[in-house]
Structure 1
Amino acid sequence: MPNFISEDQIEKAAVKLLNEEYGYRKVNCYTADLENLNDKSNRSSKQEVIFPKILKKQTVQINPTIPENVIDQAIDNLTARRTTMSPILANKEVYSLIRDGIPVQFEGTNGKTEHETVKVIDFNNPKSNDFLAVTQLWIKGERYPRRPDIIIYINGIPLVFIELKNSNVKVQNAYDDNLTNYKHYIPLLFNFNAFCVLSNALETRVGSFTSGYEHFFRWLRPNDEAEKVDRSSISEEGTSLERLLHGIFPKDRLLDYIENFILYYKDSTKIVAQNHQFLGVNKAIESFKQRKEKKGKLGVFWHTQGSGKSFSMIFLARKVFHNFTGNYTFAIITDRDDLDGQIYRNFLDTNTVTKSEAARPKNSAQMRDFFSRNKRLVFTLIQKFRYDKEKEYPELSTRDDIIVIVDEAHRTQYSSLAENMRKGLPNAQYFAFTGTPILGKGDQLYQGKTHDWFGGYISQYNFVQSIDDGATVPLFYQKRVPEVLIQNVNLSAEFYEILEDENLDEKAMEKLEKEYSSEIQVIKRDDRLDTIAEDMVKHFPSRGYLGKGMVISVDKFTSVKMYDKVLHYWKEELKNLVGE
């Protein structure tokens, strides 16, 4: 990498890549005289942000059966300034028209009123659209003009804002000095904006126009969310923007991202999918397409905790509803009330589903009723599948268009409750979502009940990859007292399978007690717990900074014992600290 990469060099390299590798047209609209309209944009005023001739031409081609004057009315609707609306609501309304089309009505040739939808982008056929990389376009605001570095236009609509900085300038400056300023002085541009890109070549960030800088994220993996990346090497080589361009900007991917990976949360925040969500959800979609061959076992979606797993569920559901013909019902299965409520509210708050379309059954009888009524979303707890052990669990639905997402699938879902779920929904399609790895021995592909129920991994995004992305702070391990020497070298995969299931059957419990009781008893020995508790109490006041701690124990009983022991030693330590 050269010692310095100028903003101009970054801009030219990006446009060249888009043009030569992905077939974008390109145009430099710079004029020395701000008032000069001969800037190749064909705008009638430099206050405009739409390229009207391109928009009209492409819209007519995409909608050949709709009269031209009706198309003109639809375009007027799309390009209205919406000055009385808040920026987020104006953006949401425009996005809906771009994604879903502009409803129109007109008198047909037979004299009857026709109701149609004018599409301004053909999301199914990339070749039917015009992709244009525009550089140095003057836009006049009410007070000051501004000139963004690159704007990506699709069919004359400015959908992607790209702001660049020299490599020796922090990328956050592109947010603080430019994006924030542009939103204030040329707000019309952001009525149409899908997402924003900030880059100095060494580092590149992606986010929505409503996001604070801390919510702009890296996009380091073009094709595989499990790819191991070296962030320092990417920075040294100055290839961060190149990776993003390869990841999102192939024409079919950009259309997919705009159509299926944008959300509005509570009408106050715009959310765009992160790198791992986009790749992972699309792998889930590919698995869904093969549901007949997979016989309902659609796979395990393992994305580490804190990576936005519930929003990945939403992206998946939205894409299925929007792109696949059928009356699909998603059943979201969790094992905790608070988690069930959280996911339910996220679906409602992103307008993925309305209250009338969603259901939270109180029992299996209500579940059967909701499934028969083709509810779009059913949220329930695995515990609702309890039934008299002496009786056969009743069939709730034979539909094969029910898509079950089981959250934290390796916890409670494999005992009688999961068997009941399978009996109740024998033809459903099953995904497992989890934030923690499925236990296995060494680097072997996990086997056991999770694999039997759901099939193999379809997407993996682990804690290390999250650290690589800078989304999670690193976890450092400090070896402390006391050590435990476990001499059983035959700690087999069977042990992991047993631990994977919290609801152990009698046979598994007996095996656990017989084969592994000695190791567990050593770990739970009272004198060992005392040593750990005393060490914790001495460590926290002397470590030099404030912060929380988490204690993880082998079982609930040990957790309670540790609480009591830490409390005891903390009281003793307080006496020492205050000098009593």
Structure 2
Amino acid sequence: MNTPSFKEDHISQIPALQMLQNLGYTYLTPDEADRFRGGKTSNTILEDLLRKKLKEINSDKKISSTRSTYISDANIENGIRVLKELPMNEGYIAACETAYNLITLGKAFEQNIDGDKKSITLQYIDWKTIENNDFHVTEEFSTMRSTSKDHYRPDLVLFINGIPICIIECKRPDIKEPLKQAISQHLRNQQEDGIRSLYAYSQITLSLATQQASYATNATPEKFWAHWEEKFLTQSEEVNYKAELEEIKNTPLSTSQKEKLFSDRFKYVRNYFDALETEKIQPTEQDVYLYGLCRPKRLLDLIFNFIMFDNGEKKIARYQQFFAIKKTMQRIVQIEGGKRRGGVIWHTQGSGKSLTMVMLAQAIAMEPSIRNPKIVLVTDRTDLDNQITDTLRKCGKFVENASTGQRLVELLESKSDSIVTTIINKFVAAIKKITKPLESHDIFVLVDEGHRTQHGTFNVEMQKTLPNACFIAMTGTPLFKKDKSTAKQFGGIIDTYTVDQAVKDKAVVPLLYEGRLARQVVNESPLDTFFSMVSEPLTEYQKADFKKKFSRADQLNSAEQKIYAIAWNISLHFRDNWQGKTPFKGQLVCDKKVNAIRYKEFLDEIGIVTSEVLISSIDEREGEESAYEKSSEKENRFWKKMMDEHGTAKKYEKNLINRFKNQRDPEIIIVVDKLLTGFDESKNTVLYLTRNLQGHKLLQAIARVNRINEDKEFGYIIDYYGVIENLDDALEMYSTFKDFDADDLEGTLVNVIDEIKKLPQKHSELWDIF
């Protein structure tokens, strides 16, 4: 049998079309697709198909318990017009959000019924009955660009009821970096001069190259394209899944399907693909993605329940989020002994726990077997409120932020369903105010892990007040052994996603550890060793001058000479690695507020990097400050200056975080306790540790720099204290857990020395290419 030349048509595109047809899609030739859009390549919706389906799925609209009506022809046309008129002038993502809301929520139109004007919602897709929708696929869907008469032609486009829902680029596997090329094509197509008129409707974008694949949604940078894999509860479930996929892969198309598929440009390879039907073929990676993401039931589920808009970005769930929510829902719909079983979702930091929480709240709110759910989301992220509110619009649920403990009590005690956001302090206060236990098993408490060790998510007081409530904790670090037996009473571990897995999936970047200085002990020996280490890049004259400036002995960990020396080293390190070459930033962790201010003063004096200090008010203790320790004059002056500049402590914190995230300066943000948990900024790349951290706090702190960003290969931990000893202790401590062995935290840190040792081999491999 002659094998055709390697073209994306043969090796990737045709098998994809075969698989999609076996999944229930009807193949349209390019000519057919053009006819359904009126022969206009500027039209991206197959209007004739859409018009027909809108009449069918909107033919029985209930207007009362006894009366039904249908959407008028005029409003069918209005519905098509509204869907076509996306607000591109407001920005691409705004247009995508408008399209998404129309597709998922429908559009209300006024209609005259028996002399009365009533508002009736037109639905574009029947989300409840999958079979009522039409699924089509076409190839080479030529679309006119926005700024010229030129055209781009995506390889495959999937339509639901004539609306382009999924766009796929197929590449042959033998070209250089096929996935990179496919993703680049998607991103090119979504530029302002591209074919946004098509992509604005798309909910999932796929890049396929036979044994490689990845997926994303609108305007997702290459670095954030995701890996998909199935997760199974049992071995038999996995066996059944693989058998079903293999059966679909080896089901031949019908004669009529083959006649249509191979009627035009694929005609000369039909014999090759006919011959393949006599062999048993194993599913490829692209088959796994098509089955996992595009089979009709899964596709509708992903679109409706697992896409959201977050601060001007459109996001789709990663596989670990999708399956964690599915596993959680499987257990909480069951009522045993008068209550629902909760538990802990342990997904390593940086893998999207906050989005998982919002999606889980939506899933609970929409579960038909839970009639009047009260959902309390306990978090310290106030910016989640808007995200939660917008996401849960689809459920028809009102979301309220409980600004006081008393208001939270009222909401919990009311008989109506509700979704409430609050912070941990107010939640704990509300629990104490409730005198009579609330015994409903439809109360769900979703708790962010950031404060688990402070207040105890699973404490006895909560059990007494909410005896039948379902508690679900989202954690980025494993439970301490002392917490674990208590957690089991609430269901134990629901799902895990380890550091190693997240790095493998490229959901986070690996962390490189470098110990710059061992922890110093105050003694009578001179500081020569210390200064020689931090002043290595200086000339002999500069070293002498440097040492002369700071020769006074003091308590070494608080001494100004040590702070200056570390500030100098940080300045050079940041300048040499990131300054001016990248948008990346750093975070400096100190032991006390007064030392944070000193670091800022010395960094300013050195004049190489810009920095700001973010600390608590002078009334609050941070880090290693004693409860009886009075604020220094330096702290008082600094705090007064910040309040004069920003007005309030809240504005001071908000303004500094905003500047760190969105402006060039500051390059380094200096903290004591703030921003060590829950702070999410992908440009944050290097963590300078100058204080002792332990346990959860240590693991949470180092994860501040593991978020993915374009051109960011690693996060860096530069240790000036000797914290690694404590990290070793933490890893050993966690490995004693029954459900967590040493492998669970494998890959948490990689020593930079280990990476340097790999360089000779990498150098050799590079020369082998030439």
TM over 0.5, shorter chain? yes
Q: Which runs of 5+ in 2 are unaligned?
A: 61-69, 239-281, 538-568, 578-685, 700-718, 724-770
What does residue 98 of structure 1 align with? 103
What does residue 517 of structure 1 align with? none
Alignment of 1:168-317 (within 5 A): 168-170=175-177, 171-183=179-191, 184-219=193-228, 221-224=229-232, 239-266=284-311, 268-291=312-335, 295-317=339-361
What does residue 48 of structure 2 align with? 53
Alignment of 1:29-48 (within 5 A): 29=30, 39=34, 41=36, 43-48=38-43
Q: Deviations over 1:430-488 (max 9, x none)?
A: 212111123569xxxx9501111x21322221112112212223457999999xxxxxx
Post-superposition shift, 1:187? 2.0
What does residue 424 of structure 1 align with? 465
Q: Which runs of 5+ in 1 are unaligned?
A: 32-36, 229-236, 483-523, 568-580
**2:112 and 2:390 mapped to 1: Cα distance?**
38
What does residue 107 of structure 1 align with? 112
Post-superposition shift, 1:56? 1.9
Verify: 1:435 aligned to 2:440, yes or no: no
Amino acid at match of 1:548: L
- 1:114 is paired with a residue whose SS is strand
The structure-2 alpha-carbon separation of the partners of 1:291 and 1:316, relative to structure 1 and needing over 3 Å to count, comes to farther
The structure-2 alpha-carbon separation of the partners of 1:345 and 1:538, relative to structure 1 and needing over 3 Å to count, comes to farther
**2:284 and 2:487 mapped to 1: Cα distance?**
39
Post-superposition shift, 1:152? 0.9
Post-superposition shift, 1:105? 2.3
Question: Is the Cα–Cα contact under 8 Å of residues 42 and 52 in structure 1 kept in the other structure?
Answer: yes
The structure-2 alpha-carbon separation of the partners of 1:155 and 1:165, relative to structure 1 and needing over 3 Å to count, comes to same
Question: Is the Cα–Cα contact under 8 Å of residues 368 and 396 in structure 1 kept in the other structure?
Answer: no
Amino acid at match of 2:7: S
Post-superposition shift, 1:150? 0.6
What does residue 119 of structure 1 align with? 123
Verify: 1:154 aligned to 2:155, yes or no: no
Question: Is the Cα–Cα contact under 8 Å of residues 165 and 200 in structure 1 kept in the other structure?
Answer: yes
**1:540 and 1:433 mapped to 2: Cα distance?**
44
What does residue 604 of structure 2 align with? none
Question: Is the Cα–Cα contact under 8 Å of residues 163 and 179 in structure 1 kept in the other structure?
Answer: no
Question: Is the Cα–Cα contact under 8 Å of residues 339 and 469 in structure 2 kept in the other structure?
Answer: no
- 1:358 is paired with a residue whose SS is strand
**1:557 and 1:320 mapped to 2: Cα distance?**
31
**2:188 and 2:319 mapped to 1: Cα distance?**
24
Q: Deviations over 1:287-344 (max 9, x none)?
A: 232245682322221111110000001111123334546443321235xxxx343544
**1:538 and 1:293 mapped to 2: Cα distance?**
64
What does residue 485 of structure 2 align with? 448
Q: Which residue of 424, 438, 445 corresponds with 1:381?
A: 424
Post-superposition shift, 1:153? 0.5
What's the C-alpha RMSD, in Å, of the aligned pairs? 4.3
Pairs aligned (count): 485
Question: Is the Cα–Cα contact under 8 Å of residues 395 and 425 in structure 1 kept in the other structure?
Answer: no
What does residue 370 of structure 1 align with? 411
Question: Is the Cα–Cα contact under 8 Å of residues 134 and 150 in structure 1 kept in the other structure?
Answer: yes
**1:68 and 1:241 mapped to 2: Cα distance?**
42
Question: Is the Cα–Cα contact under 8 Å of residues 309 and 387 in structure 2 kept in the other structure?
Answer: no
Q: Which residue of 12, 15, 18 corresponds with 1:16?
A: 18
Structure label with greater radius of gyration? 2
Question: Is the Cα–Cα contact under 8 Å of residues 196 and 207 in structure 1 kept in the other structure?
Answer: yes
Question: Is the Cα–Cα contact under 8 Å of residues 376 and 420 in structure 2 kept in the other structure?
Answer: yes
Verify: 1:166 aligned to 2:172, yes or no: yes
Q: Which residue of 445, 448, 455 corresponds with 1:404?
A: 445
Verify: 1:86 aligned to 2:91, yes or no: yes
Amino acid at match of 1:43: G
What does residue 660 of structure 2 align with? none
**1:86 and 1:370 mapped to 2: Cα distance?**
38
What is the TM-score when the length of structure 1 is the normalising length?
A: 0.72
- 2:363 is paired with a residue whose SS is helix
Amino acid at match of 2:129: N
Post-superposition shift, 1:224? 4.1
What does residue 26 of structure 2 align with? 25
Amino acid at match of 1:176: S
Post-superposition shift, 1:539? 10
- 2:331 is paired with a residue whose SS is helix
- 2:343 is paired with a residue whose SS is strand
Q: Which of 341-350 and 175-184 deviates more?
A: 341-350
The structure-2 alpha-carbon separation of the partners of 1:366 and 1:73, relative to structure 1 and needing over 3 Å to count, comes to closer
The structure-2 alpha-carbon separation of the partners of 1:50 and 1:292, relative to structure 1 and needing over 3 Å to count, comes to farther
**1:240 and 1:14 mapped to 2: Cα distance?**
11
Question: Is the Cα–Cα contact under 8 Å of residues 263 and 270 in structure 1 kept in the other structure?
Answer: yes
Question: Is the Cα–Cα contact under 8 Å of residues 385 and 421 in structure 2 kept in the other structure?
Answer: no
Amino acid at match of 1:276: Q
**1:271 and 1:280 mapped to 2: Cα distance?**
17
Post-superposition shift, 1:25? 1.4
What does residue 231 of structure 1 align with? none
The structure-2 alpha-carbon separation of the partners of 1:401 and 1:97, relative to structure 1 and needing over 3 Å to count, comes to same
Question: Is the Cα–Cα contact under 8 Å of residues 34 and 41 in structure 2 kept in the other structure?
Answer: no
The structure-2 alpha-carbon separation of the partners of 1:12 and 1:223, relative to structure 1 and needing over 3 Å to count, comes to farther
**1:450 and 1:116 mapped to 2: Cα distance?**
47
Post-superposition shift, 1:4? 9.3
- 2:344 is paired with a residue whose SS is strand
The structure-2 alpha-carbon separation of the partners of 1:153 and 1:552, relative to structure 1 and needing over 3 Å to count, comes to farther
Alignment of 1:517-532 (within 5 A): none
What is the TM-score when the length of structure 2 is the normalising length?
A: 0.55
**1:323 and 1:558 mapped to 2: Cα distance?**
38
Amino acid at match of 2:223: E
Question: Is the Cα–Cα contact under 8 Å of residues 222 and 248 in structure 1 kept in the other structure?
Answer: no
Post-superposition shift, 1:49? 0.9
Q: Which of 175-184 and 149-158 deviates more?
A: 175-184
Question: Is the Cα–Cα contact under 8 Å of residues 74 and 118 in structure 1 kept in the other structure?
Answer: yes
**2:7 and 2:693 mapped to 1: Cα distance?**
53
**1:393 and 1:98 mapped to 2: Cα distance?**
42
Question: Is the Cα–Cα contact under 8 Å of residues 331 and 380 in structure 1 kept in the other structure?
Answer: no
* Percent of aligned pairs with the same amino acid: 24
Amino acid at match of 2:315: I
What does residue 504 of structure 1 align with? none
What does residue 581 of structure 2 align with? none
- 2:496 is paired with a residue whose SS is strand
Q: Deviations over 1:522-550 (max 9, x none)?
A: xx9989xx9xxx99x96998999855355
What does residue 519 of structure 1 align with? none
**1:557 and 1:48 mapped to 2: Cα distance?**
54
- 1:548 is paired with a residue whose SS is strand
The structure-2 alpha-carbon separation of the partners of 1:188 and 1:285, relative to structure 1 and needing over 3 Å to count, comes to same
Question: Is the Cα–Cα contact under 8 Å of residues 314 and 352 in structure 1 kept in the other structure?
Answer: no
Q: Which of 397-406 and 288-297 deviates more?
A: 288-297
Q: Deviations over 1:487-508 (max 9, x none)?
A: xxxxxxxxxxxxxxxxxxxxxx
Question: Is the Cα–Cα contact under 8 Å of residues 146 and 182 in structure 1 kept in the other structure?
Answer: no
Post-superposition shift, 1:98? 1.0
- 2:227 is paired with a residue whose SS is coil
